[in-house]
A and B are shown apart, each in its own frame.
Chain A
Amino acid sequence: MHEYGITESLLRIVEDKAREAGVARVSTIRVVIGALTGFVPDSIQFYYETMSKNTVAEGASLEFEELPVTLRCRTCAEVFKPESREWTCPKCASSEVDIQGGRELYVKEMEVS
């Protein structure tokens, strides 16, 4: 639902980097999205197609890489990826955790010519 602004920010980052590097065309953009964020790749793709028109990144393909949820057990410090919605430490069975990974949202790299 909030992908419009996200796509706008994404495109601004790509355009700035392309200008800095003096590239003529961006062909691929790789975006990393954590599994806990509510961002929907299809929705970003949808806005991107319209928004990127007449930019250096028009028609670039968007590739999304989803990062899994990573938790750190507050009891025994084990870092683990939960296998179900039950966030229980596989080592000590505690459910008290800190979220370590899964909330990322960044532009990782782009392919240019």
Chain B
Amino acid sequence: MRKIEIVQGILDANEATAEGNRAVLDRHNCLAVNIMAAPGAGKTSFILRTIEGLRPDTRIGVIEGDVVSTVDAEKVQGVASAVVQINTKGMPESCALVADMIQVAMERLPLDDLDLILIENVGNLLCPAEFDLGEHLRVVIASTPEGDDKPLKYALIYADADAVVINKSDLLPYVDFDMDKFTRAVRNLNARAVFFPMSCKTGEGVAEWVAWLRNQRATR
């Protein structure tokens, strides 16, 4: 009996694929945004608002991750320049997108004709935090009915976010959500995240986010 030291990261293979994806995107001068949130936080509405805000001068592709349905892809079809749907059911990971899936989806997108790719991850605040997809920006959408205590519960996803959208701001008068408490909890874990209170229903706050995203693209 002898011991063999290994010390090799189990996610190394995913990270290598993610780096490869990022290199392909960079070569095409295409910015990728990984959008993560709990189910029902408003990921698809957020994507629709983002496309609306950036049209017509930004060509946008969307990668939709969903466990089984094509409901979200159908909503986005027609407004985005290109849409690819990934159903994760039957794949090794059904609770989050992984870099391999993005690699395949990217082959089906006209990268030369796109400036931006919005990736809608599977609705889940735990698993998506672990998998780098090759994106340039990570956005977490919180929504006010979820409550203001989530950042500590889902520390990893909030610690790594470049932007945190607080959706459903129109419901603030009706729900127990303390904006200061929430932003402080995120700030405690993450010194760089930018906050965007927003209502995808009324359109409030969308312009600020769109301006920030435009700037991210311009300064890269």
Contacts and interface: CB of A to CB of B under 8 A. Distances in A.
B215 to A, nearest CB: 25
Contacts of B6: 13-14, 17, 106-110
A107 B8 contact: yes
Interface string B35-49: 000000000000000
| Interface-central residue, A5, A21, A103, by most chain B CB under 10 Å | A5
A80 interface: no
A113 interface: yes
B193 interface: no
B1 A111 contact: yes
B137 interface: no
A10 B10 contact: yes
The main secondary structure of chain B at its interface with chain A is mixed
B220 interface: no
Contact of A110 (B3, B11, B14): B3
B127 A1 contact: yes
Contacts of A12: 13
Contacts of A55: none
Interface in A62-100: 74, 85, 87, 95-99
B126 interface: yes
A60 to B, nearest CB: 12
Interface residues of B, number: 35
Interface stretch (B58-66, B71-79, B89-97, B106-114): B89-97
B121 to A, nearest CB: 12
A2 to B, nearest CB: 4
Nearest to A3: B93
B4 A112 contact: yes
Contacts of A9: 10-14
B191 interface: yes
B98 interface: yes
The main secondary structure of chain A at its interface with chain B is mixed
B3 A96 contact: no
Contact of B2 (A5, A36, A111): A111
Contacts of B152: 85, 87
B180 interface: no
Contacts of B189: 87, 97, 99
Contact of B130 (A2, A27, A112): A2
Contact of B10 (A13, A36, A87, A99): A13
A106 B4 contact: no
A56 interface: no
A110 B1 CA distance: 10
23 contacts: A1-B94, A1-B124, A2-B95, A2-B131, A6-B10, A31-B10, A38-B130, A85-B152, A87-B188, A87-B189, A95-B184, A96-B188, A105-B10, A105-B130, A106-B7, A108-B7, A109-B5, A110-B3, A111-B3, A111-B4, A112-B1, A112-B2, A113-B2
Interface of A: 1-2, 4-6, 8-10, 12-14, 17, 21, 23, 27, 31, 36-39, 74, 85, 87, 95-99, 103, 105-113
